Chains A and B, each alone.
Chain A
Amino acid sequence: MKRALIGSTALAGVLVIAVMVTPVFAACVNPTPLQHLLGGWFSNCTEPVRAFAFGVSSNVAPDTTCPNGAASCNTGSVLIACPDAGSSNGQLAGCQPDAGTPNDGNVTILFDWGGGGSFTGCPNPAQAANIGRNYVQVVDAKGKSLFVTVPYSFDLGAYALDLAQPDTFPAGPISCTTNEAGLTFRSFTGGTLCGNMPVPRAHTDCDPGTWGVTGGNGFIPPTCQASTLFPLNRGKLYRKDTPADASKACTGADPVLSTGAWTNIPIDPVANPNFASNGDFCVPTPPPAAGQCAHFGATGMVNGVETPAMVGDLDLGSAGDPNAPSPRAVQVSANAGGNSVSISFRTEGELGLVGFNVLADAQGGKNRIKVNSALIDKKGVEGGGASYSVQIPKGNFKGAKVLYIESVLTSGTLLSDPASF
């Protein structure tokens, strides 16, 4: 009896451990599409584009099928982003025509939780409404991103991404952007990365004017239930170094989303003193080796669980990027009128830029003087370019008729071509 008890206890222990170590989550028995269904698409997404999706359960019955969030239900390595109508997804389904043509910036999502491929879990075996809310992360080659969440629509029989999009028919597109999720780049010099890591903003079926809220005004019942939206928060900061590619540069490569391919540098914003409450941070991290690009990515937290893939900007650090747009001022023009000189110029990129000075050739070019009273602040967002227009009193030029725009960088300066007035 005692031996039997010990034996059965040991067996039970082994079984429990086996279940804990190797959880098995079956794919859906029934087709359970996660896709654009009402003619919608995502726009302004620079290809190649990658997407990753996962389901999250509230763990309040009957919504218990993805108890550990993305760890329980995720699209794994299946390609779910459609770059164009002529492509197929990773399950060999033909992409929607709304994905457009190659490199037009339009992409659609196409996946079936009941289909084939290497993925985990079934968020909604019974295909019931509001079970296993799905989240989709999209990151493009330029680091722009989208984060979208929709519930299962019983009426549409699918997790239809269109529910989080404007309620036109076809559904109005939403765009990949640099400012809704992930990272905002400020600088990466001297072994310090500065930026901002916002709380990721997810497009939801409860956003005003979406199919989820209006149901298309009679076409389908609305799906929005604000109580089913899970809280979002910052995740962690990651880094990945890759060789600089002269043809693709650092900011054109195929994005890699899975955190498994990244090194957590490691920064948990919640606990790290380098993070301000608004997400601003400056953290030490070494510059990339010669010929290498440093990429930084951020995850998010959904209902307290970190997303297993980057939720936002990836290709930001580019100290080794041979093709990064220069912060040098271009198209400089100057016109004298009244008591001031009007100057305009623009930049194509502002990575590593601090601001600008206006220099003038005084004394026939023998002496170059600064004519602005204070550094002109940069306006470019996340390393992008910007246009400028400034007025400087004519007297400051001391008779000079030629000027330059000096880009002041975190390390050194760049001088524009001259402009006469």
Chain B
Amino acid sequence: MIRFKPSRTTVAAVVAVVLILAAGGAAVASNMGFKMNKAFYPPNAAKPGAGDNWTSIPFNRPYSTFADVCTQLALPNVSTSIFQVNPETGATRLCSCGTAACGTLKLDLTDRPVAELPGGVAAPYLGIRIRNNTFVAGTSSAIIVGSHSPSLQLLLRRIPSATCGDVTAGASSNIGATWFSVPYHTTAVTAQDLCVQSGVPAGPSATVARVDPINGTAASPAVTCNTSAASTLNLVLGEAVRIRRTSAGVCTPLSSIPAHF
């Protein structure tokens, strides 16, 4: 009798399908296009980080600016804020829906000078944080659409390194922190899968963190690549996660093409 022993890839595929189905059947993933029903959760004063809805956005999408996200996802003005981190400079980008500022901030950072872009190129793989005090758990959601870009490279910037010419004194801890829009049809199941796929070297060479929008940051501490903790941190469909190298390593960004089904 031949006993069925599923491969790791098979398990990943099954898990991905289950996740997609668990998302309410509203998410349809393929290389051609996505339609994702993304649930949003409100802040909770007792749980820091709760309500920080870190959101993956397809690499090809009909949203160019933060304002496009506000309008096309029908997010309320004033109370909704969109937030992003530029991993090249560490600068944070925040605006409130309905303001002119949201209209100038581009999701792929191309409103900034080339010198402030990771690797000097647009970064459509960056996720955003959506926050609103009026979100209702279990009720608030929005449809996110788009498609994948199979050749797009994820670039992981080094952390500040004097060897590479960076100013390290007073450097932002956001430098090198890439909030990665994990593709909806990723083959990665755990944080460790992302570590491997993004090409971080062996050893404790990077950390991966997700923010649990329901229970906050305390419920989802960052894990270190190539540890058992990384292998047990499951990714959540539609969530962006933070990847940050822990040692400067090579000066050029680590480049990889996100794996997907």
Contact = CB atoms under 8 A, between A and B. Distances in A.
Interface of A: 27, 29-31, 33, 35, 37-39, 85, 88, 91-94, 96-98, 112, 114-119, 126-129, 154-158, 169-170, 216, 219-221
Given A31-B85, A94-B105, A219-B79, 12 more contacts: A33-B94, A92-B89, A94-B104, A96-B95, A96-B101, A97-B100, A97-B104, A115-B90, A154-B43, A155-B43, A156-B96, A157-B43
Nearest to A77: B170
Nearest to A119: B170
A155 B79 contact: yes
B172 A37 contact: no
Contact of A31 (B77, B92, B98, B100): B92
Interface centre among A31, A114, A155, A170 (most CB of B within 10 A): A155
Contacts of B79: 155-156, 219-220
B175 interface: yes
Contact of A118 (B77, B92, B169): B169
A119 B172 CA distance: 11
Given A37-B95, A37-B96, A154-B45, A92 B101 contact: no
Q: Which 5 A-B pairs have the closest CB atoms?
A: A116-B172, A93-B91, A155-B133, A92-B89, A39-B99
Interface of B: 43, 45, 48-49, 77-79, 81, 83, 85-86, 89-96, 98-101, 103-105, 111-112, 116, 131, 133, 169-175, 217
Contact of B98 (A117, A155, A169): A169
A236 B147 CA distance: 62
B174 A37 contact: no
A39 B170 contact: no
Contact of A94 (B78, B98, B100, B112): B112
A338 B211 CA distance: 83
14 contacts: A27-B173, A30-B48, A30-B217, A31-B94, A33-B92, A39-B99, A91-B91, A92-B89, A93-B93, A94-B91, A97-B101, A98-B101, A116-B172, A116-B174
Contacts, number: 120
A78 B27 CA distance: 44
Q: DSSP class of B's interface residues: helix, strand, loop or mixed?
A: loop
The DSSP consensus for interface residues of chain A is loop
A127 B48 contact: yes
B99 A117 contact: no
Contacts of A169: 77-78, 98
Nearest to B44: A154
Nearest to B98: A169
Contacts of B83: 31, 157
Given A96-B101, A115-B90, A220-B133, A158 B81 contact: yes
Given A116-B172, A118-B170, A127-B48, A170 B133 contact: no
A126 B48 contact: yes
Nearest to B94: A33
A115 B94 CA distance: 13
